[in-house]
Amino acid sequence: MSTLTDTFRRNGASVPLLVTAALLVIMFAAGSAQYEGFFSGQVLVNLLIDNAFLLVVAIGMTFVILTGGIDLSVGAMLALSTMVAAWLVEQHNWPPLLVIPLVLLIGTASGTLMGWIIHTFEIQPFIVTLAGMFLARGLCYTISTESISITDPTFVSIAQTRLALPGGLFISPSVIIALLVLLAAFIALHRTRLGRNVYALGGNEQSALLMGLPVARTKIAVYAVSGFCSALGGVLLTFYMLSGYGLHAVGLELDAIAATVIGGTLLTGGSGFVLGTALGVMVLGLIQTVISFQGTLSSWWTRIVIGGLLLVFILLQRLSTGRRRT
């Protein structure tokens, strides 16, 4: 046991990422051996099609968690984005090219405001974003308590578009958008000053202050990014569901946190990989796919398995960071 622990400590935060990648391969191999039709490139591509909105939201969550914060408002903000988009497009006949930027602006502004409150008044992110969650979810029901179907030709056209890939595979435009967001996030975190500041802030905020880093600007920026990603995730969900509803994405904030942690990002901040978050989203999607192929298990087994995985990965995080305290 001590040898295993020492191995984890030597390899640091890369261990959970490697375990996630290995888990994804093992799950896909096991599903392929167990279920006919599982071994298919389209099955893997469908993971991205079905979870493009979650990937975008989880990327925003990664920025926040890397600084040692948390954002519980992402699911409610996503639902509010679907409601605003559906309400303006369907009931007020606003053009989608105006509605979509407005929705993204609302999400970014809300994230910026929460980040400013967290930094200025030194309130725990849990409390501020919890308030944001209740506020956004409540605003959904001031618009409508019922689902609003979207029949706008532009939304319907995007929702029904399939982009062909080699081998007879296809993807949706939402996948392209999600992958572009992933690429932008990777570049921002690993090739820009903002990314270096994010990791420094998560490693030790007091040290970041002493080094003269823009802590306030960085902290506000990551919540703005999370708000933007939540709103963009809402837009992608409207393409997927063609509706706005106040009960969309209930519990999505927990899925985003789970994907981020399973992808190797430390909950305490300062260490993690946005590509790992993408792998975490794929793992969550693959769990749902396996249960769907199995056919007799309740969908609640998805939550049970995810809960078990979270415990395992939190343990891995504890083992991999234990050396910092020795």
**pLDDT over 70 (residue 11):** no
Mean pLDDT over each residue of the chain, to the nearest integer: 90
Distance CA 275, CA 11 (A): 18
Question: For residues 245 and 265, what is the distance between their CA atoms, to the nearest angstrom?
Answer: 31
Q: From CA 153, how far away is CA 171, in angstroms rounded?
A: 20
4 within some domain: no
- Confidence class of residue 268 from pLDDT cuts 50, 70 and 90? confident
What is the pLDDT averaged over residues 102-110? Answer: 98
What SS3 state is found at 243?
A: strand
Specify the residue for token string 């003269």: 212
pLDDT at 264 over 80: yes
Q: What is the DSSP letter of 148?
A: E
pTM over cut 0.85: yes
The answer as to whether 36 is a domain residue is yes
3 occurs within a structural domain: no
Residues 116/122, Cβ–Cβ less than 8 Å: no
Q: Find the distance separating the first CA and the last CA of the chain, reported in whole Å.
A: 17
User: What was the pLDDT predicted at 290?
Assistant: 87
Total tally of structural domains belonging to the chain = 1
pLDDT of residue 145: 93
Q: Print the domain residue range for 175.
A: 10-325
Quick one: how far is CA 156 from the chain centroid?
A: 24
Inside any domain, residue 279: yes
**Residue 299 counted as domain residue:** yes
pLDDT class for 310, splitting at 50, 70, 90?
Answer: confident
User: For residue 50, is it within any domain?
Assistant: yes
Residue 210 near residue 88 (C-beta atoms within 8 A):
no
Residue 47 domain flag: yes
Predicted confidence (pLDDT) per residue in 145-194, tens digit: 999 999 999 999 999 999 999 988 999 999 999 999 999 999 999 999 99
- For residue 5, the model assigns a pLDDT of 44
Q: Which two tokens stand for residue 220?
A: 């506000």
- CATH code: domain of residue 201: 1.10.3470
Q: For residue 5, tell me if it sits in a domain.
A: no
The residue count for the chain: 326
